[in-house]
Structure 1
């Protein structure tokens, strides 16, 4: 421990050099091209955490090709369409089940007939499902609006972290195969 430097003597450039990440970058004209590239990247062994997309809520006004090499560009993690669908189903089911179960417990606790309890449960669950469905629809619209915004600003920007020169070449080949443009790497 005698070799350790005091915190204030640590060279920030040494820290930055240790945390540099090499990335392949590509811009896709359509969501379908982007998704096909992501699917192939994952099949080729790239992990989801190695894929980054531009956060259009934070970087709304700049074209994609201006953001590609800017390290301050806000990013978000890739979320698979299947995961998004699971979240929508959870919203609908949650809003349907929780009120329905609560209503069933309250109505049954009053000693009401089974038919009355069932009717109250179904009605409450239906209203809850409508609320959950509305929220799921709003989430779907937001996602669609984000995709449209990206296409209007020059395309869908994808960053892929690469670990080795072979990994880098594989990423570049996949991006090009799926019609990405402005394909290159950077640190």
Structure 2
């Protein structure tokens, strides 16, 4: 039981003795703990970060032209390789870029404009994370796609040919 006592230290005033004042603080302590518990349980500590992913409804008839497809293969050390088309017969040969200097944005803007100009369609971006890339790199690529307003994208599994290319470029062990 919590209480607050005050005393006169045994001093007498005149012929009357004063009784010490006693205040019971139990209710106030209970209220304080109830308020603390309420605020702890109802407070959101951190909002989760989520990104909406739209799944394709129908595939294009006849498949997707490889000349419209840009692949971004994520390696280690904040580096990635990109190429247009298929890995065994690329339209634009693979090239290694750093993800931290805005290089990817420039490539996305240039290639998207080229495809719109030549084919009158939007570019398709395939993101292929390797087992040596970090999650932050995938988020960086998705952010760059949002900034460049590229809406057709997919995160796909990396192939053995892509891993071989990363090894050749020394961004995969």
Shorter-normalised TM-score: what interval? Answer: under 0.3
TM-score normalized with structure 2 length: 0.22
* Bigger proportion of residues as helix: 1
TM-score normalized with structure 1 length: 0.21
* Bigger proportion of residues as strand: 2
